[in-house]
Amino acid sequence: MQVIDLLHTATRELAEAGVDGGDLDGQLLLGACLNKSRTELFLAADMEVPEEARRVFLRYLERRKRREPIAYILGEREFWSLPFIVNPSVLIPRPETEFLVEQVLAACRPRRGLHDGWILDLCCGSGAIAVVLALELQRDIVAVDISCDALAVAQQNCRRHKVDDRVALVKADLLTAFAAERRFSLLVSNPPYVSRRQLRQGLDPEVAGYEPLLALDGGEDGLDIIARIKEMLPVIMRPGGEVFIEIGAEQGPALLRMFAPSAGAAELVKTVEILKDYAGRDRVLHLLLSGYGR
């Protein structure tokens, strides 16, 4: 069969399976089988596809028809223009998290004070945030996750991008592994923040059927993990440190209340703001911590 025949097959069968964007999916899957870009595929439309590549493509196509994400099928996802290994042990990196990283980098570069303490990537998953921060800031990073399987993926990505000497991977339930020494000046996190209501109502099949629940479930209102992080901040964060946490698009008002002086955060937080993404949705909780009364 020719390239064009297989692409038409993918578009038709994915549409019949209820998968949106089947033409693009087919191009990505066949391109991976032939080691060709989408442009190269179009230029090679009349090329006969080798039998082994055809068989692999058809296996990939069957998996995609069952709504398995392409990133898991191919074992890779681009983030920050870099390739990252992914599997069902970790969330697939998303553009929303690139926005989180952008905000962190914008804050770090002009502020000398953040160079005085350690940097923490909490709930690190695939290690994408830790790797990018290590590369962009040329700093050592401590990356924490509760899942051994996720940390194994993060380790592969650190080695792939040659930052394994600068990223220390720690298995822990949030901040429980750290002594009360206030060593961190910057905390970055993409924690579980999907509410139980959203989980009950149903997520997209690609998410609900394949991505790890442990990395999604944020409790009844989606804020349980962030509330736990709040309690630990004065224990491990340096006075005047900064916190950047990815959040859900409707969680901004609740988080402003959580970190308001009336909620007991007067001595903890100097300023709190919700940063909106490029679509105008709440996306990042940013905290500037106080001097803790000193």
pTM for the model = 0.92
In whole angstroms, give the CA distance from residue 213 to residue 198.
12
In whole angstroms, give the CA distance from residue 237 to residue 230.
11
Phi and psi, residue 255, nearest 5°: -75, -35
Kindly state the average pLDDT of the residues 262-266: 65
What pLDDT sits at residue 263?
62
Residue 101 has pLDDT above 90, yes or no: yes
Tokens of 31: 């391109």
What pLDDT sits at residue 113?
53
What pLDDT sits at residue 141?
96
Q: Residues comprising the binding site for substrate?
A: 190-193
Angle, helices 22-34 vs 3-16, to 10°: value is 140
Residue % of the chain over a pLDDT of 70: 95
Kindly state the average pLDDT of the residues 112-141: 90
Q: Residues comprising the binding site?
A: 145, 190-193
Residue 114 has pLDDT above 90, yes or no: no
Give me the amino acid identity at 226. Answer: I
What pLDDT sits at residue 255?
96
> Residue 267's pLDDT band (boundaries 50, 70, 90)?
confident
Report the Cα 260 to chain-centroid distance in Å: 27
What pLDDT sits at residue 110?
63
Kindly state the average pLDDT of the residues 258-273: 82
Residue 86 has pLDDT above 70, yes or no: yes
pLDDT tens string 275-284: 999 999 999 9
What pLDDT sits at residue 254?
96
What pLDDT sits at residue 117?
84
> Residue 261's pLDDT band (boundaries 50, 70, 90)?
confident
Q: Please check whether residue 73 is in contact with residue 10, taking contact to mean a CB–CB distance below 8 angstroms.
A: no
What pLDDT sits at residue 35?
95
Kindly state the average pLDDT of the residues 21-49: 94
Q: Please check whether residue 216 is in contact with residue 160, taking contact to mean a CB–CB distance below 8 angstroms.
A: no
Residue 266 has pLDDT above 70, yes or no: no
pLDDT tens string 53-67: 999 999 999 999 999
Kindly state the average pLDDT of the residues 263-272: 79
Kindly state the average pLDDT of the residues 231-251: 93
Transcribe 146-203 into DSSP letters: S-HHHHHHHHHHHHHTT-TTTEEEEE-STTTTS-S---EEEEEE----B-HHHHHH--
pLDDT tens string 165-190: 999 999 999 998 887 788 899 999 99
CA angle 74, 79, 84 (to 5 degrees): 45
Question: Tokens 């989980």 correspond to what residue?
Answer: 199
Give me the amino acid identity at 248. Answer: G
Picking from 70-79, 163-172, 192-201, which range would have the lowest pLDDT averaged per residue?
Answer: 192-201
Mean pLDDT for the chain? 93
Residue 87 has pLDDT above 90, yes or no: yes
167: β partners: 141
Q: Please check whether residue 271 is in contact with residue 287, taking contact to mean a CB–CB distance below 8 angstroms.
A: yes
Residue 292 has pLDDT above 90, yes or no: no
Q: Residue 61 contacts by C-beta under 8 Å, 6 or more apart in sequence?
A: 9, 10, 13, 14, 26, 29
Q: Residues comprising the binding site for S-adenosyl-L-methionine?
A: 145, 190
146: β partners: none
What pLDDT sits at residue 108?
84
What pLDDT sits at residue 293?
56
